[in-house]
Amino acid sequence: MFMKSLWPEPKRFAMRMLLLIVLVVMSYVSDAAAQNSVGLSPGQSETIVGGLDVALNLEIDFIDPTVGGGVEIIYDATRLEFVSFTFTGDPDFGLTGPVDDDPNQPLEIGAGWFVLSPPFGVTGVHTIGTLLFRPIASGSAMVSTRESVINPGRFYPGGGGATPLAVVYSGATVNVGPPAVAVPTLDAYGRLIGCALLLLLVMRVLSQRDILGGSPRGMRE
């Protein structure tokens, strides 16, 4: 009797363990979904032909109201060359951004919003701007985002909160293919030569047909 009361029935014990596992998984999924994130879009590019520029959008997706902040961009300089960054009309102002063809890393980008009514910040998905890169070598190139610690700094909550928000950062993969094969084009002089060669070919074919066909009918009679 003592052992029976100390240990629960196997079926009841299994049901309790299953319920506990379900609750833990649901809690994990909820925490993973409910977060502030900064990333690049598209996260996985189609194969880009070498020599053609690729555009990546810098986006935020926040559940907590924010007045803005900064992010650092790191990229694979062996396969990509930075071209430019352009702010969209979404942020109310830009804090900082790289100049065109800036060879330095990380690229520092920051933006903010003026919201004069509660919750005194923006939530949801917002596109800060567009990064443009030029592929210089074939292969997969990573472009990463990370927290800006000094300038322009981290993302802060609306309402004048002094504690930075917790943010999850993600990047993108750019797949660079081989350069496109150049197809030669003919100018006017080249087209003229081509027409002349085609005419000579037609005349040769007609001449061969006359030889194989023999003499005209009047001569054979």
**Cβ(105)–Cβ(80) under 8 Å?**
no
Residues 7 and 77 occupy one common structural domain: no
CATH number of the domain to which 55 belongs: 2.60.40.680
Task: Decide if 135 is inside a domain.
Answer: yes
Span 158-195, pLDDT tens digits = 988 899 999 999 999 999 988 665 555 656 666 677 67
Closest CA to 58 of 49, 68, 50, 48: 68
Segments forming the whole domain that contains residue 78: 35-179
20: which 2 tokens? 């506990």
> In whole numbers, what is the pLDDT of the chain averaged over residues?
81
**Cβ(68)–Cβ(111) under 8 Å?**
yes
The whole-model pTM stands at 0.68
Residues 93 and 18 occupy one common structural domain: no
DSSP 47: P
Residues 22 and 91 occupy one common structural domain: no
Span 77-122, pLDDT tens digits = 999 999 999 999 999 999 999 999 999 999 999 999 999 999 999 9
Residues 59 and 166 occupy one common structural domain: yes
